[in-house]
Chains A and B, each alone.
Chain A
Amino acid sequence: MAFTELIKNFGKTRDYMRDFYIYGFKARGDFTAKSARTYDNEKRRIESWLAPYVRWENDRQGKRVYVSLDASCIGSNPLYNAWKAKSFTDNDITLHFAILSALREGQKNIADLTDAVCELTGTVFEVQTVRLKANEYVREGLLCKKTAKKADYYALSPITLPSLPVESDRLWDAIRFFQEVSPFGFVGSTILDAGQVDQSELFGFKHHYIVHTLEDGVLFDLLRAMQERQRVSFAQQSTRYAREMVQQGVPLQVYVSVQSGRRYVCLYTERNKRFQNYRLDYIKKVDLLEEYPGYDDLRAKLDGAKKRCWGVSFGASERNQELRMKLYIDEEKEAYVLDRLRREGRGGVTEHLEQNIFLYSVTLYDVTEMMAWVKTFTGRILSLESSAQEVADFFYRDMDRMSAMYGGDA
């Protein structure tokens, strides 16, 4: 089959895009999950979609192709292009423009609409074919349908962006901003495309994890389940373990880490009677199951439990662990460090013990999870104690290793 830039299935391209953008060190021979030909096609597609950001290098493993860009230097997420590359048939595009064109002058019943479409395009279309496409567009919101005297009349939907009761320039600015920061931002980008409004360099974005857009298909299904209070089942495969696992439970909330770039779904698993978070980027496909009757109670329980979580871990048994970190901070010159403790300390308490000595303490289900943050204070920590002694021991061992790693003279 001849190569095409367009794709039928988003899931297939998602893994390749992620590999090219997030990792970028793999050569052709490292992509073993599918055939070499599949790799070649996916690579060519990504080169076509993301041309300005594609780089390549040659090394002993062969030619490495990867995507590299500084997300703070872009006005619009280039990965959205994958969402704008759905394949279609000749009939799809012909009917799209012919139906919209035929309805410009006003509503039509299906017979008149079919006649108009045939006349415009010089092509014979069955009434049923036009009806199917028109009904699809009613579901998508492009058309509206009303029935009069047992006949269906189709018309263009009157809801357009200029018809909304706001000053359009301000709404365009809002869309320019939210297309980058809100879930499903690519939808905003399609509004800008349709309005032929430039994506603009008005806004810049720091700590901007553009890769999240690749998870939006999974997110869409999970949110539908949450809105309908339904249980779900999903297949999940991490980069650490090749084996695909199936999880079942009640999805309650999407956990977002704005610092590490990961997103999770918090699931209540009835089998373990526990909350557990699963990475969205590892989820392959979501199936919606039956409604869960005690959904609101679970949500309330989760809101209580999250107060004892640093991030996504509920610990082994939801038992409290304490951590106390004594810090040396020059209170005159380093007030910004105290600010950071307050801003980033997630419910921990900071006490002033004596001049330039502060104690930060917190009680959590799993203090292990906060150790990455603790290490950001390297150079200021006087002591670290925890009711989970192994955590404090681990910290001191890490400090010894780092000292040795940088030549022992560090």
Chain B
Amino acid sequence: MELFSEIYSLYFRAVERVLRRANEWPLTGAEIQRILSEGTFSESAITMFPKLQSGAWPLLHQAESGYMAVCVPPEKTPLTMLQRAWIKSLLNDPRISLFLDDDEIEKLRLSLSDTPPLYRQEDFYAFDKATDSDDYESPEYRRCFHLFLQTIHQKTALSVQYEGGKGNRVSGVFWPYRLEYSAKDDKFRAHCYRKVGGRRMQYILNLGRVTLAEAINITDSGNPSRVNRSTMGRFREVVIEITKERNALERCMVHFAHFEKRTEYNEITDKYTCTIRYNVMDETEVIIRVLSFGPTIKVIAPNQFINEIKGRIRKQSELISLVF
């Protein structure tokens, strides 16, 4: 069982698409090149087309009407051992019950009984995961998750009652368009919008805090289910200066790796400057994550962020001086 194998390559997938289409009707060279360039790398089609055309990969026959397939892939591609082993591993993950019911999980386990799992849950230990994960075993939670997922697929709405973290209650019609999972919190949140006076207001609901959800069979003709991810929420940038002390650079780069960022080295100061782009909704989290690095990183812009940090440090100095 190979992990790194050409049978998973995008080149094989692209050729497979060409062969399937060329089995239905003759393809022109331009059509083949277009199919090859979809879902491959930027230079792939340039390399692949001459191979097919020249017969170095003798998989097509050139007739007067165009290129026809001489090899036709099976209608249903078999799953490899690796793919089966990966699916088998998922069956022991508690989150699988959000997608499949208990009966389906058991049937799937039975049908893959000859396949050893690729990994076991007990092989992993997430030592800094929050302790109040969503309750994936709860039938109410599973029902709620199903409902949100189904609603997103159908582009319809839900009537929701919700109790926020600070005790504030919200109820009304919500249009969910994406489910967001946080590995750190081990929780799901639903990105939704509500229509208020002709405008769409964005809301993020923790699924674990939804007290009631019911499907409503109405659609929104302008449903932005394909809301551009980059326009979700407002974004800001913070600029930090990183010293070489305590391996701060390496720790910082890995820690903030999931943000969009750019880093430069300043020869004069012998420090690194990193600009991190974050969603405004996550600002408090970014502030405390910056603080966790202590004096090994310093915020140098913008002023509003610097003032937040200064405020906390000032408060800290005052508390210490009260005690000593």
Looking at chain A's contact residues, the main secondary structure is mixed
Q: Say if the beta carbon of A34 comes within 8 Å of chain B.
A: no
B124 nearest in chain A by CB position:
A254
- B1-17 contacts to A (CB < 8 Å): 1-13, 15-17
Tell me whether A343 and B107 are in contact in the complex, defined as CB-CB below 8 angstroms, given that A121-B58, A171-B99, A259-B184 are known contacts. no
Q: Say if the beta carbon of A293 comes within 8 Å of chain B.
A: no
Question: In the complex the two chains form, is B41's CB within 8 Å of A163's CB?
Answer: no
Assembled-state Cα–Cα distance A21/B82 (Å):
27
Number of chain A interface residues as a range: 35 or more
For A118-155 the 0/1 string (1 means CB < 8 A from B) is 00111100000000000000011111000000000000
Question: In the complex the two chains form, is A258's CB within 8 Å of B126's CB?
Answer: yes
Assembled-state Cα–Cα distance A17/B263 (Å):
16
Question: In the complex the two chains form, is B313's CB within 8 Å of A403's CB?
Answer: yes
Please give, as numbers and ranges, the residues of chain B lying within 8 Å of A343 by CB-CB distance.
130-132
Q: Say if the beta carbon of A298 comes within 8 Å of chain B.
A: no
Please give, as numbers and ranges, the residues of chain B lying within 8 Å of A60 by CB-CB distance.
267
Question: In the complex the two chains form, is B99's CB within 8 Å of A378's CB?
Answer: no
Question: In the complex the two chains form, is A81's CB within 8 Å of B41's CB?
Answer: yes
Assembled-state Cα–Cα distance A81/B41 (Å):
8
Please give, as numbers and ranges, the residues of chain A lying within 8 Å of B183 by CB-CB distance.
181, 205-209, 258
Please give, as numbers and ranges, the residues of chain A lying within 8 Å of B289 by CB-CB distance.
376
- B101-131 contacts to A (CB < 8 Å): 104, 107-108, 110-112, 116, 118-120, 122-131
Please give, as numbers and ranges, the residues of chain B lying within 8 Å of A338 by CB-CB distance.
none
Question: In the complex the two chains form, is A217's CB within 8 Å of B4's CB?
Answer: yes
Question: In the complex the two chains form, is A399's CB within 8 Å of B15's CB?
Answer: no
Please give, as numbers and ranges, the residues of chain A lying within 8 Å of B73 by CB-CB distance.
97, 100-101
Question: In the complex the two chains form, is B10's CB within 8 Å of A81's CB?
Answer: yes
Q: Say if the beta carbon of A160 comes within 8 Å of chain B.
A: yes
Question: In the complex the two chains form, is A204's CB within 8 Å of B295's CB?
Answer: no
Assembled-state Cα–Cα distance A206/B282 (Å):
10
Assembled-state Cα–Cα distance A254/B119 (Å):
11
A24, A165, A182: the one contacting B262 at CB < 8 Å is A24
Q: Say if the beta carbon of B251 comes within 8 Å of chain A.
A: yes
Question: In the complex the two chains form, is A73's CB within 8 Å of B230's CB?
Answer: yes
Please give, as numbers and ranges, the residues of chain A lying within 8 Å of B258 by CB-CB distance.
70-72, 206-210, 261
B6, B15, B76, B129: the one contacting A258 at CB < 8 Å is B129
Please give, as numbers and ranges, the residues of chain A lying within 8 Å of B294 by CB-CB distance.
371-372, 375, 398, 401-402
Question: In the complex the two chains form, is B152's CB within 8 Å of A202's CB?
Answer: yes
Number of interface residues of B (CB under 8 A): 132
Assembled-state Cα–Cα distance A242/B96 (Å):
42
B186 nearest in chain A by CB position:
A258
For A351-390 the 0/1 string (1 means CB < 8 A from B) is 0000000000000000000011101101111110000000
For A243-270 the 0/1 string (1 means CB < 8 A from B) is 0000000000111111111100010000
Question: In the complex the two chains form, is B184's CB within 8 Å of A220's CB?
Answer: no
- B257-271 contacts to A (CB < 8 Å): 257-265, 267
Assembled-state Cα–Cα distance A47/B43 (Å):
10
Question: In the complex the two chains form, is A92's CB within 8 Å of B130's CB?
Answer: no
Question: In the complex the two chains form, is B8's CB within 8 Å of A160's CB?
Answer: no
Of B6, B17, B84, B259, the most chain A CB neighbours within 10 A belong to B6
Q: Say if the beta carbon of B24 comes within 8 Å of chain A.
A: no
B215 to chain A, nearest CB (A): 17
Question: In the complex the two chains form, is B123's CB within 8 Å of A254's CB?
Answer: yes
Please give, as numbers and ranges, the residues of chain A lying within 8 Å of B99 by CB-CB distance.
170-171, 173-174, 177
Question: In the complex the two chains form, is B11's CB within 8 Å of A177's CB?
Answer: no
B96, B125, B247: the one contacting A240 at CB < 8 Å is B247
Q: Say if the beta carbon of A40 comes within 8 Å of chain B.
A: no
Question: In the complex the two chains form, is A201's CB within 8 Å of B226's CB?
Answer: yes
Please give, as numbers and ranges, the residues of chain B lying within 8 Å of A232 by CB-CB distance.
none
Please give, as numbers and ranges, the residues of chain B lying within 8 Å of A336 by CB-CB distance.
165-166
Q: Say if the beta carbon of A63 comes within 8 Å of chain B.
A: no
Question: In the complex the two chains form, is B181's CB within 8 Å of A177's CB?
Answer: yes
Tell me whether A166 and B17 are in contact in the complex, defined as CB-CB below 8 angstroms, given that A85-B9, A160-B77 are known contacts. no
Assembled-state Cα–Cα distance A49/B40 (Å):
8
Q: Say if the beta carbon of A315 comes within 8 Å of chain B.
A: no
Please give, as numbers and ranges, the residues of chain A lying within 8 Å of B104 by CB-CB distance.
165-167, 170
A48, A193, A261, A398: the one contacting B295 at CB < 8 Å is A398
For A79-93 the 0/1 string (1 means CB < 8 A from B) is 001011111101011
Question: In the complex the two chains form, is A306's CB within 8 Å of B125's CB?
Answer: yes
Q: Say if the beta carbon of A36 comes within 8 Å of chain B.
A: no
Q: Say if the beta carbon of B202 comes within 8 Å of chain A.
A: no
Question: In the complex the two chains form, is A94's CB within 8 Å of B4's CB?
Answer: no
Question: In the complex the two chains form, is B323's CB within 8 Å of A382's CB?
Answer: yes
Stretch touching chain A among B25-33, B86-94, B136-144, B192-200: B86-94
Assembled-state Cα–Cα distance A166/B107 (Å):
8
* Contacts A203-B180, A203-B181 supplied; 19 other A-B pairs, CB < 8 Å: A51-B42, A57-B262, A85-B10, A86-B9, A97-B59, A178-B96, A180-B181, A183-B89, A204-B181, A204-B232, A266-B125, A309-B127, A311-B127, A344-B128, A346-B128, A376-B289, A378-B316, A382-B322, A382-B323
Q: Which 3 A-B pairs have the closest CB atoms?
A: A141-B81, A379-B312, A174-B99
- Could you list which residues of chain B lie within 8 angstroms of chain A, going by C-beta atoms? 1-13, 15-17, 19, 39, 41-44, 47, 51, 56-59, 70-84, 86-87, 89-90, 93, 95-96, 99-100, 104, 107-108, 110-112, 116, 118-120, 122-132, 149, 152-153, 165-166, 178-185, 191, 226, 229-230, 232, 247, 250-251, 253-255, 257-265, 267, 272, 277, 279, 288-289, 291-295, 298, 306, 309-317, 319-320, 322-323
A-B contacts, 14 of them at CB < 8 A, read A51-B42, A75-B229, A142-B80, A170-B104, A178-B90, A187-B86, A201-B226, A202-B178, A260-B254, A306-B127, A342-B132, A372-B292, A401-B294, A410-B311
